[in-house]
Amino acid sequence: MGAVNAAAAPSPDPVALDAHLVVEAGDFSLDLELGCAVGVTALLGPNGSGKTTALTALAGLRRPRAGHVRVADAPEPEWLDLDRGVDLPADRRSVGLVLAEPLLFPHLDLVENVAFGPRSRGMPRRAARARASLELERVGLGDLARRRPGGLSSGQAQRAALARALATDPALLLLDEPLSALDPQTRSATRADLARRLREFAGVTLLVTHDPVDALTMADRLVFLDGGRVTQDGTPADVVAHPRTAYAAQVVGLNLLAGTVRSGPPVVVAVDGAGAEVVTAEEPGGLADGSRALATVDPAAVSVHRERPAGSPRNVWPVVVTEVTMAGQRARVGLDGPVPLVAEITAGSVAELGVVAGTRLWASVKATEVRVQPG
């Protein structure tokens, strides 16, 4: 998928976070190895797979039974090595933590909320307030610095929580479902702000999420957990093309196309580098003419045909099959054309249409099946 937010090959960047965590909690055990470069790694998996357990162990809030944690750019790089008796407490780990609930102090304004982090680490009050003001500007809240949390929207509160975490200059930023409590419209706008700020962050970010758009738009790498073990690890493009588990296919099973809006009606997204456009029946708010946008299409909404289809589809392109991956009675079909796509069709359709690598077909998507959001 050329429009996915990732390179086509694994990053050669040096490892900044080297961790092996063995955690036992009742009948559950986590055995996780991570080697992360600077950038965003998303941890994904069903409920109870060990994602939050991993974050709390990295933050020093839960003691593993065995393992190690080394963060190259931290003031104290060795956080955990139980074989050598090393186990830094949470307040000595260079870590920032953002949860689904912002947990801002209601009696303090935003400057004091954000300054709390650096002040708790010994920074003088004036310097901490200056740093807080800078971070609030970076997340677009500079004009609300004197407001208390009760006067904020949910999206603004979450951006303030991010500013508070980053004000301590952490080497490791941990985000545990940071957008899950937001309504869809607020989530979309906040996601764009969060992605922009994370691109400027010079440390390692671990993002726990269930949302495929969060993962595909913000992460350089996806790590899937199930039952406390890694089931897949790769770039978003790799995972979209070759999901190894049903859960991975479900999570990343979206066609994601980045482009530029031409306002309508109808609204059109000119896909980057494709020389093609995608028409949507939506009228997404906040997308002015020429603004950046992301169009998503469920592979099950992509129809394939031997001849150019007549009738209602607004989006029709000639394509060539690049690969066919069977999963029970369904198949994921890679399609190369003006707009690169993955289609999900039945095994019967594969046989009826003679779908194999190299087959020339037509792909169509109804405008009502295209979702558009800020990019």
Query: Residue 182 to residues 104, 177, 296, 358: CA-CA distances in angstroms?
Result: 16, 10, 20, 44
Name the E strands within 221-314: 221-226, 229-234, 255-262, 267-271, 277-280, 292-297, 303-305
- For residue 10, what pLDDT band results from cuts at 50, 70 and 90? very low
255-374 has CATH 3.40.190.80 classification = no
pLDDT band at 12 (very low <50, low <70, confident <90, very high): low
Name the residue among 52, 76, 75, 47 with its Cα closest to residue 62: 52
pLDDT, mean over the chain: 88
| pLDDT reading at 287 higher than 80 | no
Instruction: Say if CB 236 and CB 299 are below 8 A apart.
Output: no
The whole-number average pLDDT for the span 342-359 is 92
C-alpha to C-alpha distances, 69 to 14, 33, 49, 56, nearest whole angstrom: 16, 10, 20, 12
Per-residue model confidence (pLDDT) at position 40: 96
Rounded Cα gap, residues 253 and 189, in angstroms: 22
Q: What is the pLDDT of residue 374?
A: 73
pLDDT of residue 2: 37
255-374 matches 17-94+170-252 in CATH topology: no
Half-sphere exposure of 327 (CA within 13 A, CB side): 16
Q: What mean pLDDT is predicted for residues 298-325?
A: 89
Grade residue 286 by pLDDT with cuts at 50, 70 and 90: low
Q: What is the pLDDT of residue 8?
A: 38
pLDDT of residue 273: 78
pLDDT band at 274 (very low <50, low <70, confident <90, very high): confident
Q: Confidence band (pLDDT; 50, 70, 90) for 318?
A: very high
Mean pLDDT value across residues 98-112? 92
Domain positions in the chain are: 17-94+170-252, 255-374
Contacts of 7 (CB under 8 A, 6+ apart): 220, 235, 237
Topology given in CATH for the domain delimited by 17-94+170-252: Rossmann fold (3.40.50)
| 339, 317 contact by CB (below 8 A) | yes
On the question of pLDDT at 3 being above 50, the answer is no
CA distance 200 to 202: 6
Closest Cα partner for 364 from 318, 296, 298? 318
Residue 5 has pLDDT above 60, yes or no: no
Cβ atoms within 10 Å of 290's Cβ, excluding its own: 10
d(CA 352, CA 240): 25
- In the numeric block, the tokens 């074989």 are attached to 83
Strand partners of residue 333: 324, 343
Higher pLDDT, 188 or 69: 69
Q: Which ranges of 182-308 would DSSP assign to H, the alpha helix?
A: 184-200, 212-218, 236-241, 246-252
- pLDDT band, residue 180 (cuts 50/70/90): confident
- pLDDT for 11: 45
pLDDT confidence tier of residue 4, bands split at 50, 70 and 90:
very low
Chain segment 115-174, per-residue pLDDT in tens: 998 998 889 999 999 999 999 999 889 999 999 999 999 889 999 999 999 999 999 999
What pLDDT is stored for residue 285 in this prediction? 66
**pLDDT-above-70 percentage for the chain:** 95
pLDDT of residue 313: 75
In whole angstroms, give the CA distance from residue 61 to residue 270.
46
Q: Mean pLDDT across the stretch 109-115?
A: 96
Cα 253 to Cα 336: distance, rounded to the nearest angstrom = 17
State the Cα–Cα distance between residues 152 and 210, nearest whole angstrom: 25
Say if strands 172-176 and 95-98 run parallel, antiparallel, or are unpaired: parallel
Residues paired with 15 in a beta bridge: none
pLDDT at 106: 94
pLDDT digits (tens, 9 = 90+) for 211-248: 888 888 899 999 999 999 999 999 988 887 677 776 88
> Contact, 223 vs 42, CB < 8 A?
yes
DSSP, collapsed to helix, strand or coil, labels residue 194 as helix
